[in-house]
Structure 1
């Protein structure tokens, strides 16, 4: 194996000069640098990252714990979007700053999280990011006080720096846009009541109605699924029948996520309702595999997973640089409304 001493001999310089060229920590004449770099190329010398880490106390490594790889095909039942989109945002941001991302997958088993985190700390990562499968509260193992950790798509009771979706604001934006297009009877078909997002999105729904001067009618709020693990079209069918039996039925139904909206399309059509001529439908997430292939294409609001990943990376890099506060409330990222053809603009048809 070629060593720094072999390079120094080939370039007719001292090992210290080779070290200066490699680390860029002292001025070196241009011709000397050229000689060293040519010797490195000819000998195929690969600098030891471990040695550099010991000298600088910087590894350039960041650890990421997620279930995005093993659970990607099935995670959408709960999250709407696979968390791999968050990982992509993190990877993109880390590359821009020259950091290397080490990814460990939990395989959907929470008991794997502590040993994975411990392994990362043993390998001298400069920081850790934990990505949850959906917006939720988490309990992570105790870590050394010096550990830099950022949570994405989740939060804890320790005020660990966290980045989460602004579910309340996202739903508010969507319902506000729908009301602005002349809809006054806006129904909401929610996800499982056990999810954090369900409570927040209902709050956003009510806020938008208040801002539009529309009364809140509890009869227009329905549960589209009772369990995040077992979404059932039969429950939805019963609720749709109830909604359309009201004296004033809804002109539009907002769904807890795009997958629910896809099921609703089927329920409505099997019941003889045409979308959007007889009833409009809106989703949540902007899962384009669904929203752009449904007919008509689905109006929805973005679940900003890529932006959350990028912001989580920025927070961690700031922590590493010592310029970000270590604690605080979760930072919320809101998505934009994506308007397509599944919601009729009633201001143009009145």
Structure 2
């Protein structure tokens, strides 16, 4: 019998049971009662004959396919955020699910992307962004989206997984304070939600530790909203802060790219890392952080953990999603502190 032609009827005929019994054994439907020995015999024969379920037919009967849809707002083109997709895809595959991704932008709206995914009859649809932000989803798409990843809605009506930005800033600032640093500057990411939340954590850590903070030392790393194309202010800040006797003994950087610039600026002033100035950061962009001299202490973005948790939620495992679920960063200790 050709492996590709094996049907439920073939299995039922060989074993002398009903098609309904075979279907229940292979699908795991607990409502169809049978002896455990019968269930094992059916599954064993199905494996021996190479039976493969007709997923399209099953999807038509059940109204859903074994698919999770992702609407990606630029996500799949960003080096960091692709970690979300890799972890998500690897996790859902263990449940026999597949992932279909469609992107917004270039004239394609969220509503259009959701409509494209709905043609596949997915079990669920998620919306993901390339960086942490607040997203005002159009009303037509809200009812279709079950989870937001790396972003949150304006009204928090849809469950969301986001990086724990404030906690991460508290943790890395406490690490600097524990290392004996008491005069910490922060070159933050202006115009980004991550920057706002990290500044809150930076201030909170100082207050909790009873360490005085210089408000003027929280400075924007770039002119205008942060991006890789925005004009850097790092050289100017380092020249200003180290011009007089009241100098920082540590600099917290908004991300590893900013830290790379800080390394160069400090060396222009013959300052040693970490002896004269400790440097810490966010992201754990390994091609930068691990190759700097000395290697950079940084908070790793939780993108893989977000992908795994999203898969868990949408596949129906574990605890249900909360309105806003913050996923913790991971401290990566290297030699710059």
TM-score, normalised with respect to structure 1: 0.81
From 320, 325, 330, the counterpart of 1:324: 320
Query: What secondary structure, in the 3-state scheme, does the structure 1 residue paired with 2:282 have?
Result: coil
Give me the whole-angstrom Cα distance separating, in 2, the residues matched to 1:138 and 1:39: 47
Where do 5+ consecutive residues of structure 2 fail to align?
Answer: none
Asked whether the 8 Å contact 2:149–2:160 carries over to 1, the reply is yes
Alignment of 1:30-179 (within 5 A): 34=41, 38=45, 42=49, 45-66=51-72, 70-73=76-79, 82-96=80-94, 98-106=95-103, 109=106, 111-143=108-140, 147=144, 149-159=146-156, 160-179=158-177
Where do 5+ consecutive residues of structure 1 fail to align?
Answer: 74-81, 344-350
Give me the whole-angstrom Cα distance separating, in 1, the residues matched to 2:192 and 2:11: 62
Q: CA RMSD in A?
A: 3.1
Shift of 1:291: 1.5
Shift of 1:220: 1.4
Alignment of 1:244-283 (within 5 A): 244-283=242-281
Structure 1's 166 and 200: CA in aligned 2 closer, same or farther, altered over 3 A?
Answer: same
Asked whether the 8 Å contact 2:221–2:258 carries over to 1, the reply is yes
Give me the whole-angstrom Cα distance separating, in 2, the residues matched to 1:290 and 1:279: 19
Query: What secondary structure, in the 3-state scheme, does the structure 2 residue paired with 1:248 have?
Result: coil
Structure 1's 15 and 249: CA in aligned 2 closer, same or farther, altered over 3 A?
Answer: same
Q: How many residues align?
A: 328
Question: Deviation digits for residues 191-227 of structure 1, max 9, x if unmatched?
Answer: 1x21001111111111111112122212212211123
Question: Deviation digits for residues 220-262 of structure 1, max 9, x if unmatched?
Answer: 1221112323456752111111111244110111100011101
Q: Give the corresponding residue for 1:337.
A: 331
Shift of 1:66: 2.2
Q: Give the corresponding residue for 1:289.
A: 287
Shift of 1:277: 2.5
Structure 1's 71 and 222: CA in aligned 2 closer, same or farther, altered over 3 A?
Answer: same
- Deviating 4+ runs (over 4 angstroms): 12-18, 28-42, 67-70, 107-110, 143-146, 230-234
